[in-house]
Amino acid sequence: MKKLLLLLIFASFLSAAILQAQPLNLRCENLENPIGVDVSAPRFSWQLTGTGRNIQQTAYEITVQAGKQIVWNSGKVNSAQSVMLPYAGKPLQSATQYSWKVRVWTNKGEVSGWSKEAFFYMGFLQPSQWTAAWITPGFTEDSIMRPSPLFRKEFSTTKKIVSAHAFITAHGLYEASINGQRVGDAYLTPGWTSYNKRLQYQVYDVTHLLTKGNNAIGVTLGSGWYRGSIGFSRPNFNIYGKDIGLLFQLKIGYSDGSSQTILSDGTWKTATGAIRYSEIYNGETIDASKEQAGWLMPGFNDAQWTAAKTANFSKSHLIATRNEPVKKHETFAPVKIFTTPKGEQVIDFGQNLVGWVVLKTKAKAGDSIKLYHAEVLDKKGNFYIDNLRGAKCLNTYVFKGSNDAETFEPHFTWQGFRYVKVEGYKRALNAADFTAVALYSDMQKTGTFESSNALINQLQHNIEWGQKGNFLDVPTDCPQRDERLGWTGDAQVFSRTAAFNMNVHNFFVKWLQDVEADQVSGKVPYVIPNVLDTNGVNSTGWSDVATIIPWNMYLAYGDKQILENQFTSMKAYVESIRKSSKNDLWNTGFHFGDWLFYRPEDDNDGNAAVTDKYLIAQCFYAHSTQLLVNAANVLGKKEEAQVYTALLEKIKAAFLKEYVTANGRLVSSTQTAYTLALQFDMLPESLRQQAADRLVLNLSNYGYHLTTGFLGTPYLCHVLTRFGYTDHAYKLLLQESYPSWLYPVKNGATTIWERWDGQKPDGSFQTPGMNSFNHYAYGAIGDWMYRKMVGLDTYEDGPGYQHIKVQPHIGGGFTHASASLQTNYGKLSSGWKLEGNKLTMHVEIPANTTATVYVPAKTVESVTENGKPVNTHTDIKMQGLENGYVVLQVGSGMYVFETEK
């Protein structure tokens, strides 16, 4: 008996050891259980969990099944790779579900159990597999108001249903229902792409929506980006086409192994309903008296409806959705209801957000309520909408009259707002009747940041909400006025910050493909998708999105395929500059320059803030060429790497000749000029420190206020830290008066402003023609806060945080700062705290990674880990001393370092 007990204890111990490292959080194409994968070799990722330190994967085994049939078993593969492993089995079949699982071996001599099964469902791998027909309304449309058309189809099933998947896309936007229940929880589908070249479709598992017997499909369309008002020119309708159309294909699987397909065709019926008007900029009008009651259900009498028309629209450019769709997220109740000095009834939701307001209340038939939207109040406390320009941002609801409360909610529009003005409400406003709903792409929140300074914490809040409000399927510049376009300059300066706050991997993969699709002879338009003048291309800092974001995404996620996909685009862009350059100088064409920089008379004691636009162009020309060289090296393209390395030398030599004196002074003695020259290594080593000194002198002359615009701001604090001036970076960060990052915070901002002084100290506003209060570009300071202040970074030899750098920079009077990041390998975190002379660092490193940790200390002997001298730990390697840091090499695990400071 005793022997048996010992065996059981041993078995239990062995089982625990085996389960110590277990694969979790399985992803396919960086998505959890994706539906609608249209790549022939999807990639698999997982994370390891387990206690203890220095856990490394040494091998893995993946198995993929279709039902009970194994289509791929990798066998045991000796590799540490756990991110983006490509499928290598039998050819995958369209419209088929596959399950997969993985197990791993570790350096601890363990083998995990098999993970829980994950799945992926294939989309269409060939355009010919679309057998449905494009259909359009069968009636003559109102070409002015454009009420939303309704499409419906009834069908019957007689067998037991075991699976059903709907494939849907549209010219315009769509919402679909089956038997009165909404299909999916995505909004503004099929999303915005360069429609004539790339049109997304979505796939939904609708098994639970179907019933044996009669079923009804209902789809509502809106004009959206496809043919709605978008862009600057007037009239600005019908950018991609005048039509509105639906493509719908439903595959049903039965228990006897047979299947049935329901297709959009001429048998569908069409009409209009409650949505009488819907435009992105102007809002939506819903008249409940026009509602076609019961039209979403089987048995509805559609005899008066007209038959849909079939259309011969292309299907060759249809692609499955790779990025996360727009979904509903946070909701907000009113924090205040008040009457303005002008006598207007206004609701304050307390947060500048993007989405819409849901209204639920009673009223008489024919009564209407109008909701106007605004970001701010003027200095007298009145509702301010001048900065919306031509956008009406108005939702109108007309009641049918009912004993029960009626609920109104928009469908194909959205607003950027904090305040809502209500007209037509015939009694005192009731807070319970109004709910604000935030809409943004369904990206996982990955980063957190917190410090001892409340204003900086609010700045982080504003950075996050600027991203939420503007990452709405494309990275828009603003969400409120008559613009909301994918400006390339804004996106590139913020991309590294964005990748910390949220998982933007798929978001940018999708958008970058539209960047390439809309390039003109390699030249990159100002906005993507490009709905502006096709001649508006290649403005420096904007067009460099073609090289900067692919490289930033590679660093953040370690996905080599991003560089493979975009290399042609990157190369074409650099070549387009070379062709327009003279003597290796990019001194031609239009450039926005250091957009929206500080410019009170453009001078301050003789120190102009205006930076030569061609100097900026030359810096970014060099930077993009360097990134092309980097990508070529990663991809093993040795010849291209050599060619563009030689070009880079010429570009920098031309910069020195044209823009730098013999003593290292730049022709533009501005913060932006010195910042870019230093950030992009435009100066020889011998001239760099003096340039950094000149930069600091400039900062001092301006009283540590920013004079930089969109292009200089993101790099300024990074340059200061790099050249030993972190204390000056903190002075800038903590500046509270205009122009500074904290000036908007001190003035009640809940998002990042477009301008340093969107609302001036006297309460007046900047020019209303361009004055957004939700504009994320200046939020790029977050990148310095995360990577330098707290110190979470990644190395190029282990991108995607496979090789982690933890190097905090302490200062600014902060007593603590911490950050965490959900990487592809698991949670990474670091935080530092000062208590008297004692400095404590808490560090968490995920399994299957390594980290180089910099502890601020003068000697190794002064550092402890978990209360013991750090040099007595056998699982921590000493790397030496470097510029006031003790440098350590560690593996996964939790660490607590302490030292006297």
What is the token pair recorded at 745?
Answer: 């915070």
What is the token pair recorded at 326?
Answer: 């727009």
Output the CA angle 770-775-778, nearest 5 degrees.
110
User: Cβ of 504: how many Cβ atoms within 10 Å?
Assistant: 30
Catalytic residue, chosen from 324, 754, 865, 898, is: 754
Q: Identify the helix (H) or strand (E) that includes residue 475.
A: strand 474-475
What is the token pair recorded at 614?
Answer: 């061609």
Are the beta carbons of 546 and 519 closer than 8 angstroms?
Answer: yes
Output the CA angle 418-420-426, nearest 5 degrees.
155
Locus of tokens 């809409």: 439
Query: Which residues, in sequence order, are CB contacts of 737 under 8 Å at separation 6+?
Result: 705, 743
Cis peptide before 744 (omega within 30 of 0): no
In whole angstroms, give the CA distance from residue 394 to residue 412.
13
In whole angstroms, give the CA distance from residue 777 to residue 462.
12
In whole angstroms, give the CA distance from residue 239 to residue 529.
11
Q: What is the DSSP string of 303-318?
A: TTSEEPEEE----TTE
Locus of tokens 């609608």: 36
In whole angstroms, give the CA distance from residue 88 to residue 16.
32
Query: Which residues, in sequence order, are CB contacts of 804 under 8 Å at separation 6+?
Result: 792, 793, 794, 795, 798, 828, 845, 849, 850, 851, 852
Q: Would residue 571 be called left, alpha or beta, if left means φ above 0 and alpha means ψ between -120 and 50 degrees?
A: alpha
SS3 173: strand
Q: Which residues pair with 437 in a beta bridge?
A: 331, 356
Q: Helical H runs in 502-559?
A: 505-518, 545-557
Catalytic residue, chosen from 175, 483, 516, 865, is: 483
464, 470, 475, 478 alpha-carbon torsion, rounded to 10°: -130
In whole angstroms, give the CA distance from residue 384 to residue 376.
6
Instruction: Assess whether 754 carries a catalytic annotation.
Output: yes
Are the beta carbons of 284 and 468 closer than 8 angstroms?
Answer: no
Instruction: Assess whether 409 carries a catalytic annotation.
Output: no
In whole angstroms, give the CA distance from residue 733 to residue 717.
8
CB neighbour burial string for 741-777, b if at least 16 within 10 angstroms, e if fewer: bbbbbebebbbbbbbbbbbeeeeebbeeebbbbbbbb
Query: Which residues, in sequence order, are CB contacts of 816 under 8 Å at separation 6+?
Result: 451, 452, 831, 832, 833, 834
Q: Identify the helix (H) or strand (E) that includes residue 398.
A: strand 394-398
In whole angstroms, give the CA distance from residue 525 to residue 546.
10
List, by residue number, the catalytic residues: 483, 754
